[in-house]
Structure 1
Amino acid sequence: MNKLTFSRELRLLAPVQFKAVFEQPFRASTPQLTLLARENSLQNPRLGLTVAKKHLKRAHDRNRIKRIVRESFRLKQQQLPHYDFVFVAKAGIGKLSNAELFEILEKLWQRHIRLAQQTKQNQA
């Protein structure tokens, strides 16, 4: 049985971890968000979130976005490559409904899965 938790080891916590992803990431973007990824040496994917006050003024709006991204990651983590992911919110993300955000995230996860497979094939 697969564990579908979002424990501490599945999170990017330190600024150094975020910085490593920002250096040379694989990118998947939409007008409302960007999902950056970089391979890690662990046996599981990890997630970091950045939702700036600049784009969403109210804390409950930022928290809604983060909650949905975490839930999407939690449900998809078994299929994801062993990468560190950083979710970056852009202007206009607050206008998306929960269902629209889940749909966009699903497409971005699939894109990163394909990118990881292509990278693995190119290295072989």
Structure 2
Amino acid sequence: MIKLNFSRELRLLTPAQFKYVFQDPQCASSAQITILARINQENHPRLGLAVAKKHLKRAHDRNRIKRLCRERFRLLQHRLPNYDFVIVVKQGISQLDNQQLFNLLDKLWQRHIRLAQKS
């Protein structure tokens, strides 16, 4: 049975973990969002989020984006490669509604799956 939880072990928690991904990442990006990835030594993918106040001023807007990103990761985690992922938000993310953001994230996750299969 596939577990679809988002436990602590599926998260990037320390600055060192984020720094590792930022050093030499594989990128999949669009105008509003970028997903950086780097292979990890774990048996599962992990997720980190970088949602800056610069692009989303209000906390409830930042929380909405983070909640939707975590939800999409949670549902797709069993298909993702064993990488550390960091989602970086860009200007214009606030104009997307929930369904548009889900579609955009799906497209970027599929790109990472294809990149992992090539390497």
The answer, yes or no, to whether TM exceeds 0.5 is yes
* Residue aligned with 2:38, SS: strand
The 1-side partners of 2:39 and 2:9 are apart by 15
The 2-side partners of 1:33 and 1:25 are apart by 15
Which residue number in structure 2 is paired with residue 122 of structure 1?
none
1:85 aligned onto 2:95: no
Q: Any gaps of 5 or more consecutive residues in structure 2?
A: none
Per-residue CA shift, 1:94-113, capped at 9, x if unaligned? 11000000000000000000
Paired residue type of 1:82: N
* Residue aligned with 1:81, SS: coil
The 2-side partners of 1:26 and 1:5 are apart by 25
Which residue number in structure 1 is paired with residue 48 of structure 2?
48
Q: Any gaps of 5 or more consecutive residues in structure 1?
A: 120-124
The 2-side partners of 1:106 and 1:4 are apart by 16
1:29 aligned onto 2:29: yes
Moved over 3 A (4+): none
Q: CA RMSD in A?
A: 0.3
Which residue number in structure 2 is paired with residue 105 of structure 1?
105
- What is the Cα deviation at residue 41 of structure 1? 0.5
The 2-side partners of 1:107 and 1:115 are apart by 13
The 1-side partners of 2:93 and 2:13 are apart by 23
Paired residue type of 1:114: R
The 1-side partners of 2:45 and 2:72 are apart by 13
TM-score scaled to structure 1, two decimals? 0.96
- What is the Cα deviation at residue 12 of structure 1? 0.1
**Would you say how many aligned residue pairs link Structure 1 and Structure 2?**
119
The 1-side partners of 2:56 and 2:4 are apart by 29
